[in-house]
C-alpha cells in the first residue's frame, strides 16, 4: 500500500475525531427551535457526514431557504459549545505521526466549514500533521464533498506535484467514497466511525478497514 498511495486525504468527523456529541446536540438545538420531536427524525446519527443543508432538506423536509436558516440555527449552538464536544479517536495522533514519518503527505477534506475544521484540528494539536486542510466554503456548490475534495486535490497537485493515481480518500461515510469516485481517486472506508460495512461496500470503497490501526497498517503496507 505504501508504494501505491503517497498523498492521503482524510475526512474529519468519524475519521479523525469522534464528533457525534457536538453534532447531535446541535441537531437537538435546531429541532427544539422548530418544535420538532426528536423521535420523529431518529436516528439522529444520519446528520453526521452529509452537508447540513442536504440533511435538513432530506430528513426534516425543509425547503431550501428554510434549510439555510436551519443551518444558521444549528451553528448558534455548534460555534459556542458543540465544536469541542468531540475528541480524537484513540491512537489517531500516533497513527498520523507514523504516516508522516514514513514520508506520506497528509491532507483533510471535510464538509464541515473550513474555519471550524481548522479550529478543531488546532485545538487537539492535529493540524501539525496536515499540509492541506480544506473544508466547506459555503452552503452551496462549494460546500459539497466533491467540491471540497477537488480543492484539496488541486492543492496537493500545486504544492507537491501530486498525481491522482497516488492519492486516496479515507472516510467513514458513503459521501467520502462517492466524492473519491467523482474526483477520480481511490477510497478507503473505515468502520470505527459512523458508517457501516454495507454502506461503504455499496458505495464502492476500494478498501475497508476495521480500526485505526488497521487503517494505518494498510496505508503503510505492514498489516499482516
Catalytic choice (11, 13, 172, 176) = 11
According to the model, what pLDDT value does residue 223 have?
52
Side-chain-facing half-sphere of 49: CA atoms under 13 Å: 22
Q: Let me know if residue 181 belongs to a domain.
A: yes
- pLDDT tens digits along 145-155: 999 999 999 99
- pLDDT tens digits along 164-177: 999 999 999 999 99
Q: Tell me the CATH number at 204.
A: 3.40.50.1000
211, pLDDT greater than 50: yes
Query: Could you confirm whether 138 is annotated as catalytic?
Result: no
For residues 85 and 24, what is the distance between their CA atoms, to the nearest angstrom?
A: 10
Question: Across residues 204-212, what is the average pLDDT?
Answer: 97
142, pLDDT greater than 80: no
For residues 95 and 109, what is the distance between their CA atoms, to the nearest angstrom?
A: 18
For residues 135 and 117, what is the distance between their CA atoms, to the nearest angstrom?
A: 7
If one counts the domains in the chain, the total is 2
Co-location of 129 and 47 in the same domain: no
Side-chain-facing half-sphere of 216: CA atoms under 13 Å: 17
- pLDDT tens digits along 26-62: 999 999 999 999 999 999 988 987 888 889 999 999 9
Containing 109, the helix (H) or strand (E) segment is strand 105-113
- Domain extent, residue 109, equals 7-18+86-220
Co-location of 72 and 165 in the same domain: no
- pLDDT tens digits along 49-97: 788 888 999 999 999 999 999 999 999 999 999 999 999 999 999 999 9
Q: Let me know if residue 2 belongs to a domain.
A: no
Quick check: helix, strand or coil at residue 12? coil
Q: Let me know if residue 179 belongs to a domain.
A: yes
- pLDDT tens digits along 104-121: 999 999 999 999 999 999
Amino acid at each position: 500500500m505504501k508504494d501505491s498511495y503517497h498523498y492521503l486525504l482524510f475526512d474529519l468527523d468519524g475519521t479523525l475525531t469522534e464528533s457525534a456529541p457536538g453534532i447531535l446536540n446541535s441537531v437537538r438545538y435546531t429541532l427544539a427551535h422548530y418544535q420538532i420531536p426528536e423521535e420523529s427524525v431518529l436516528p439522529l446519527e444520519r446528520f453526521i457526514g452529509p452537508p447540513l443543508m442536504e440533511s435538513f432538506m432530506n430528513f426534516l423536509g425543509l425547503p431550501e431557504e428554510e434549510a439555510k436558516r436551519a443551518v444558521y440555527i444549528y451553528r448558534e449552538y455548534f460555534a459556542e459549545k458543540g465544536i469541542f464536544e468531540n475528541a480524537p479517536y484513540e491512537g489517531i495522533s500516533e497513527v498520523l505521526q507514523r504516516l508522516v514519518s514514513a514520508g506520506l503527505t497528509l491532507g483533510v477534506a471535510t464538509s464541515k466549514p473550513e474555519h471550524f475544521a481548522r479550529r478543531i484540528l488546532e485545538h487537539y494539536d492535529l493540524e501539525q500533521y496536515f499540509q492541506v486542510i480544506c473544508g466547506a466554503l459555503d452552503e452551496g456548490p462549494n460546500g459539497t464533498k466533491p467540491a471540497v475534495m477537488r480543492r484539496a486535490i488541486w492543492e496537493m497537485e500545486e504544492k507537491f506535484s501530486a498525481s491522482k493515481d497516488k492519492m486516496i480518500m479515507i472516510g467513514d461515510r458513503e459521501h467520502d467514497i462517492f466524492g473519491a469516485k467523482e474526483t477520480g481517486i481511490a477510497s478507503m472506508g473505515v468502520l470505527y466511525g459512523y458508517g457501516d460495512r454495507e454502506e461503504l461496500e455499496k458505495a464502492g470503497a476500494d478498501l475497508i478497514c476495521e480500526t485505526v490501526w488497521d487503517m494505518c497498517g494498510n496505508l503503510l503496507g505492514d498489516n499482516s
